[in-house]
Structure 1
Amino acid sequence: MSQPKHIHILGICGTFMGGIAAIAKQAGYRVTGCDANVYPPMSTQLEVQGIELIEGWGTEQLDLKPDIFVIGNVVSRGNPLMEEILNRNLPYVSGPQWLAQNILHDKWVLGVAGTHGKTTTASMLAWILEHAGLNPGFLIGGVPQNFGISARLPSPAGGGAGGGGFFVIEADEYDTAFFDKRSKFVHYHPRTAVLNNLEFDHADIFPDLIAIETQFHHLVRTVPGNGLVVCNGREASLARVIARGCWTPVETFGFAASTPSPAGGGAGWGKGWQIDEEENVYFDGQVQGALQWELMGEHNRMNALAALAAARHAGVPVTQGLAALAEFKNVKRRMEVRGTVRGITVYDDFAHHPTAIDTTVAGLRRKVGKARILAVLEPRSNTMKLGVMKAALPDSLKDADLTFCYAGNLGWDARGALAPLGDKAVVKDDLNELIEAIAKVAETGDHILVMSNGGFGGIHERLLKRLK
């Protein structure tokens, strides 16, 4: 019996590359990998699957002699292992390209792109397909609680064009690798493409919004004529993307079919999805049913419309999609309640862009009414660290009663940026001091909303312990 093909993944402990590792293992490959930070929970998840992990970038890893090295975008020139791979002319490939060539090539790919909501929308879509018995595969940048895992292979019995089943993937616009500066999503060739929204982000690699729109149009160019583009009808940026050329039917969501699309719309703007305040869902003006769930916020209603439209393209009736969403459990770190002490509730949310912060706080406000909201923010993303979005922060936090910002390691003046909030904003450079400041003012009935795209120094558990 022949040995399974062997891949060695550089940067294996990131969510995306860890997902590739899990899928490759399920597909029968021998999988090994390395990273600078090999520790739980990702290390535990990978080791349980029989994946050998190595700490660091030592060149002795070449002795493993894999068939190919799969390179994550955490790896750059100067990395000692990568330099030796190049010096010896050994075969290597980016994670997205390996995935496309070895896993996605015969699948019906449903790609979910957008500045915000990719993880939640992809999770909703995968769950709708699962609920309908289509047994999809998926690779999602979070853990959908309906599944308990972030990545898996599909069952071919689920159908799909090409016979390999359906595969839902977060279609990320961030660059692919140090040697491939295209967005990851250009590799995936989705048959169903969701364009959830589009704002300026990733200031470390994109100079302006137009540059990101260009990458989104590269994605649109790859969708076949018998596919579908599901596009947010409220976004002028996406209207511009479609106006550059679209060879695929388009279904818009978020505005009534009779409403002109942003920027004048134009060719390609087609059927429309809408949802009203009572959460009745409409398609081309005809009511399809109502959402009955516990998720909060207008952003989640928009995510639901996108997921319903994409699932319908894959053959799932809207009524069945609505039934699935009634059983949908949100992704971890999306308004996740981490605990309640003395009547004070602590939430964890991934929001890290002013628009996401705004919609998250507004969603909580609608849920809790006049109760106090204490917003706790760590500006941690590359864009936020650069200070590009700092002017938008005060308005994004307007629905919070108090704001606490961790300014450690920031390269810009958080106190100055949040000055418009006056005495409603507290900024600390020390995490312990920040926790003490929150604990000092927290009262029974308060809702503490912690927002960061990282671990934030374990602030949730530390705060809950301090509040006891």
Structure 2
Amino acid sequence: MNLNSIHNVYFIGIGGIGMSALARYFVANGKLVAGYDKTPSEITDSLRALGVEVHFEDAVSSIPKSCLNSESTLVVYTPAIPQGHLEFEYFKNNNFKILKRSQILGLITENTFCLAVAGTHGKTTTSSILGHLLNECDVPLTAFLGGICENYNSNLILNGTEVSVVEADEFDRSFLTLSPDLACITSMDADHLDIYGDASELKKSFVDFSKRVKPNGKLFVRNGLPIDGITYGIEDDSDYSVQNIKIENGSYVFDVKTPKTLLENLQFNLPGRHNLSNALIALAMAVEYGCPHRQLANALASFKGVKRRFTYQIKTDNFVYIDDYAHHPEEINAVHQAVREMYPNKKVLAVFQPHLFSRTRDFIDDFAKSLSQFDELLLLDIYPARELPIEGVTSAWLLSKIANKNKQLVSKQDLLKKIHESNAQIVLTIGAGDIGEEVKHIKKEFNVAN
């Protein structure tokens, strides 16, 4: 498909983080963009501010007239839309060009030098760091990010079209539409078993992705993963390795051993060993691309983070509130490690909203183990996202398996009251659902109180 022949782009699920990055891209390229989403959000507000027409009722009559021409309109959809979606059925039955988000990314990036970040955890932070490093080194790039990068207050970095940075998403095997020049795999923990069935099928898809790297390209893998490539790791014998780690004023200071040299006294401001690992692989890919070491060091130190990735909402001497997107047991473990490293002697209250009935069921014991590590736990109901309830899979079931004695189910209405009742110095909100909408209320309440 020639994207130049398209005048209108219509998104079904335009408020999704990955979809909205594409919407911004097409707006910047002079296309007329419109779309549907289920609910208003900060993302849809920001798109409307760019002139994008967004509506929230699934109705063919709400589609702008300009997007009803099948010759000049491209329809982009997310696999998360429910079956029987009226607008989707209309476009399908009237011979419109309809592509998944991942297929569009494949089309946009196929004629660029493509750097792709894959893995069940760390994609968004790693691709955001990588996009920032390349941008600060004046690389003519477009970066499509799965989160709002604090440096740009956007999920799109647009500074040219020769190079692209993308998240290679394993959900629905989307990443198999890409053909990257440089790629990395950060992790291969079991997830999305509603799609894959079992962990072996998920691992097989990562092997298939590794074969998508161009013949003269390079693949980086975290040390220990069962795929061949250039290895990276922390304090080990990897090809790229972080060494001599120190914490100074809440930041990491460290050296990086590369296959050719030693980069000394680098600084990175995000807490947690998982973020240090993300910084390392982004740095390694930028080094292999050919960025100057001195510029890379300055760029790494200036990276501010990604919204909802260990984001400090309140940070005072006697009270800290952090928000994080973690929705898998391994991600919760990483958040726990980071908070204990930064605040070793403080009481920690975690507020967690499970995401998806199937994920809660598939990893129930791992969730219980990871959540038991916090001093105190408030558990919200499961956020269903695209799923219908599964009998017996509830937050009450999860709560019964958690070893921590200081635990309770809580409604959103009672959340502020329950946080007040705790004497924890550190409060975390964790989850990928609409718990993110509660952040501003908690921040407002406790900014006043502290």
Would you call these one fold, judging by a TM-score over 0.5?
A: yes
Contact 2:190–2:199 (CA<8 Å) still a contact in 1?
yes
In structure 2, the partner of 1:40 is 41
1:100-122 alpha-carbon deviations (Å, 9 max, x no partner): 22x21221111111111111111
In structure 2, the partner of 1:54 is 55
In the TM superposition, what is the alpha-carbon distance from 1:381 to its structure 2 partner? 4.0
In the TM superposition, what is the alpha-carbon distance from 1:397 to its structure 2 partner? 3.4
Whether 2:86 is the aligned partner of 1:80: answer: yes
- The TM-score normalised by the length of structure 2 is 0.86
In the TM superposition, what is the alpha-carbon distance from 1:88 to its structure 2 partner? 2.6
Compared CA separation, residues 62 and 48, structure 1 to 2 (3 A): closer
Compared CA separation, residues 81 and 5, structure 1 to 2 (3 A): same
Whether 2:279 is the aligned partner of 1:277: answer: no
Compared CA separation, residues 342 and 452, structure 1 to 2 (3 A): same
Letter in 2 for 1:349: D
Whether 2:172 is the aligned partner of 1:170: answer: no
Compared CA separation, residues 308 and 466, structure 1 to 2 (3 A): closer
Letter in 1 for 2:346: A
In structure 2, the partner of 1:426 is 407
Greater mean alpha carbon deviation, residues 273-282 or residues 409-418: 409-418
In the TM superposition, what is the alpha-carbon distance from 1:227 to its structure 2 partner? 1.0
CA distance in 1 between partners of 2:103 and 2:415 (Å): 43
Whether 2:308 is the aligned partner of 1:333: answer: yes
CA distance in 2 between partners of 1:406 and 1:214 (Å): 34
In structure 2, the partner of 1:392 is 366
Letter in 2 for 1:437: K
Compared CA separation, residues 213 and 459, structure 1 to 2 (3 A): same
Which of 109, 120, 128 is residue 125 of structure 2 equivalent to? 120
Contact 1:154–1:167 (CA<8 Å) still a contact in 2?
no
Whether 2:432 is the aligned partner of 1:453: answer: yes
1:407-461 alpha-carbon deviations (Å, 9 max, x no partner): 3568535455445654533121422334323211225xx0101111123174334
In structure 1, the partner of 2:418 is 437
CA distance in 1 between partners of 2:212 and 2:398 (Å): 41
1:235-285 alpha-carbon deviations (Å, 9 max, x no partner): 3xxx1x44xxxxxxx3110167757xxxxxxxxxxx443434342211238
Contact 1:408–1:430 (CA<8 Å) still a contact in 2?
no
In structure 1, the partner of 2:192 is 202
CA distance in 2 between partners of 1:420 and 1:380 (Å): 17
In the TM superposition, what is the alpha-carbon distance from 1:127 to its structure 2 partner? 0.8
CA distance in 2 between partners of 1:286 and 1:383 (Å): 46
Which of 136, 141, 158 is residue 141 of structure 2 equivalent to? 136
Contact 1:113–1:171 (CA<8 Å) still a contact in 2?
yes
Compared CA separation, residues 205 and 437, structure 1 to 2 (3 A): same
SS at match of 1:121: helix
Whether 2:91 is the aligned partner of 1:91: answer: no
Compared CA separation, residues 69 and 311, structure 1 to 2 (3 A): same
In structure 2, the partner of 1:217 is 207
Whether 2:332 is the aligned partner of 1:357: answer: yes
Q: How many residues align?
A: 425
Compared CA separation, residues 81 and 132, structure 1 to 2 (3 A): same
Letter in 1 for 2:380: Y
CA distance in 1 between partners of 2:109 and 2:436 (Å): 37
1:217-243 alpha-carbon deviations (Å, 9 max, x no partner): 2211111121110110133xxx1x44x
Letter in 2 for 1:47: R
Contact 2:119–2:185 (CA<8 Å) still a contact in 1?
yes
Identity over aligned residues, as a percent? 26
Compared CA separation, residues 5 and 56, structure 1 to 2 (3 A): same
CA distance in 2 between partners of 1:383 and 1:151 (Å): 31
Contact 2:399–2:409 (CA<8 Å) still a contact in 1?
no
SS at match of 1:424: coil
- The TM-score normalised by the length of structure 1 is 0.83
Letter in 2 for 1:331: V
Whether 2:116 is the aligned partner of 1:111: answer: yes
Contact 1:7–1:67 (CA<8 Å) still a contact in 2?
yes
In structure 2, the partner of 1:463 is 442
CA distance in 2 between partners of 1:325 and 1:382 (Å): 38
Compared CA separation, residues 426 and 434, structure 1 to 2 (3 A): farther
Which of 218, 224, 232 is residue 234 of structure 1 equivalent to? 224
In the TM superposition, what is the alpha-carbon distance from 1:128 to its structure 2 partner? 0.7
CA distance in 2 between partners of 1:77 and 1:458 (Å): 26
In structure 1, the partner of 2:249 is none
CA distance in 1 between partners of 2:317 and 2:409 (Å): 25
CA distance in 2 between partners of 1:148 and 1:430 (Å): 31
In the TM superposition, what is the alpha-carbon distance from 1:363 to its structure 2 partner? 0.7
CA distance in 2 between partners of 1:6 and 1:80 (Å): 20
Compared CA separation, residues 186 and 382, structure 1 to 2 (3 A): farther
Compared CA separation, residues 298 and 258, structure 1 to 2 (3 A): closer
Letter in 2 for 1:58: A
Letter in 2 for 1:273: S
Compared CA separation, residues 375 and 76, structure 1 to 2 (3 A): closer
CA distance in 1 between partners of 2:255 and 2:274 (Å): 15
